[in-house]
Structure 1
């Protein structure tokens, strides 16, 4: 990997890791619904400008139904669930749970697309979910506002991402990535708008929360999509998705530096087991033998 590509991957991981920090700061003031509407509305506006400059706006209308559904399952639903989760979980723990996306993606692809994993990948799935169980053990009491519901919300969000990945592969593989990114954010904004108005905070939102919400939209969504698609174009999707493994490290770092969140040995071990499972389940290791 060339140095510029590595630099962009680290920047992307830092931005997506920071999203958990910004949610921790802003979600208590906005609430998950209003915060995520602000996030996707900002991102959609910026991406629409970029799409217009490329002369590809017409593609949004051609794929409007697909993009609306994708925006619901790949942005609106998981964003709100993760926003709810960060009301109770630390930024680092939420990011570690978010790293299970490839595990859910593999399971959904197996069940929906018939993409049966190899024995190594099955081992990885089992190992990854064992890591999740070890990480959340003792936190799953389902009390209103408690950590148990937050854990369930975070894992449901990652399952939604997994469903969206298979849906995209089945129905949207021919749609340009930038059109998918813009349309999904626009679709999410439309879906969340009435809910956000219903749950809009009654009291004034402090400036710090507005700054965090704006950073979520501009940096962690719009700019992050631009960086990700640049990496996909240069490195391919398989190598680009390895950014997933770097996100928890940055989320833990930002949480420790700015919110003074602790990193426990329990969290570190759970994260290591989950990432080992993800490495196996996604086929990053062991590498298949090269054909002659």
Structure 2
């Protein structure tokens, strides 16, 4: 990979590793609808010029039904659920749980008719990764934590399912247009709830900075950097950064928010990471799998022939989820 590719890769490790930290800071002072609205509105406004230039808005409009479903699974539900869960859970723990998306993606792909065979290593990865999730969740399943864990697991399911909708119904919609329209839909949906729950007093500078960071850096800039990384390195190499994001989330929470880091968390992280890597190893595809979707890292799904995918397919396929 080129020096530019490594720079983009490093940027993505940070840009989609720190949202959990910023969400934790923001929800301490503003409501969940305000967090989601601020992020989606800022992201949509900043991406709109790029979407117009790409000429993909017409394609997005023509696919409005699956686009709304994709937006619900990728943004409308997950971003609100994540924000509400982080009122109870630490940002580092939330980031670790979201690392299970590749595992859920493999399971949901099988239920959705994915023809790719799962060998012993991938089945072992599923079991190891699920064991890591259980180890992380088990000590916290009482009271409000149980609800918060449930919310994050719903996010995992949404993030793992949304790419199936994208791969099967939205492949002809350019990535930047798809992202922009989904963010705009999110802003419209949360505008009224945000207005009704706006804080009586102005939030602190720290909370405002977190909201700005979520909308500008972790959404608009992150999408643009990610699309450039796809073009520079291709899907397979580009998506490796999703294995680094949980480590960034944990480091941010521990260093900046004084969140705990114990042996259980480290063991869970190792199990989830190992399980995700094993579960998403490229297996042998059945003959009927040509032209179908397969699960990749972090819920990513790309259109695949038996052994390779074209550069245009890599460019048109966005990340499986945003955080």
TM-score scaled to structure 1, two decimals? 0.91
> 1:127 & 1:140 partners in 2: Cα distance?
20
- Report what 1:99 is aligned to: 99
- TM-aligned CA distance change 1:266 to 1:284, over 3 Å: farther
Q: Unaligned stretches of 5+ in structure 2?
A: 285-306, 308-323
- Report what 2:226 is aligned to: 228
SS of the equivalent of 1:201 reads coil
> 1:165 & 1:279 partners in 2: Cα distance?
18
Provide Cα deviations, 1:233-268, integer angstroms capped at 9, x if missing partner.
222222222111101111122222221222211101
2:250 is the alignment partner of 1:252: yes
1:117 deviates by 4.2
- Report what 1:136 is aligned to: 137
- Report what 2:274 is aligned to: 276
Of 29-38 and 61-70, deviating more is: 61-70
The partner residue of 1:172 within 158, 170, 173 is 170
1:26 deviates by 0.3
> 1:70 & 1:153 partners in 2: Cα distance?
18
TM-score scaled to structure 2, two decimals? 0.82
> 1:278 & 1:269 partners in 2: Cα distance?
14
Provide Cα deviations, 1:18-77, integer angstroms capped at 9, x if missing partner.
111110100121122220111011001111122123444433423333322222110121
- Report what 2:61 is aligned to: 61
The partner residue of 1:210 within 208, 211, 217 is 208
1:161 deviates by 0.5
- Report what 2:5 is aligned to: 5
CA RMSD of aligned residues (A): 2.1
2:258 is the alignment partner of 1:263: no
- Report what 1:122 is aligned to: 123
> 2:53 & 2:71 partners in 1: Cα distance?
22
1:285 deviates by 9.5
- The structure with the largest helix share of the pair is 1
> 1:168 & 1:79 partners in 2: Cα distance?
18
> 1:169 & 1:60 partners in 2: Cα distance?
14
> 1:118 & 1:105 partners in 2: Cα distance?
13
> 1:257 & 1:235 partners in 2: Cα distance?
31
SS of the equivalent of 2:281 reads coil
> 2:264 & 2:167 partners in 1: Cα distance?
36
CA contact (8 A) 2:43 2:183 kept: yes
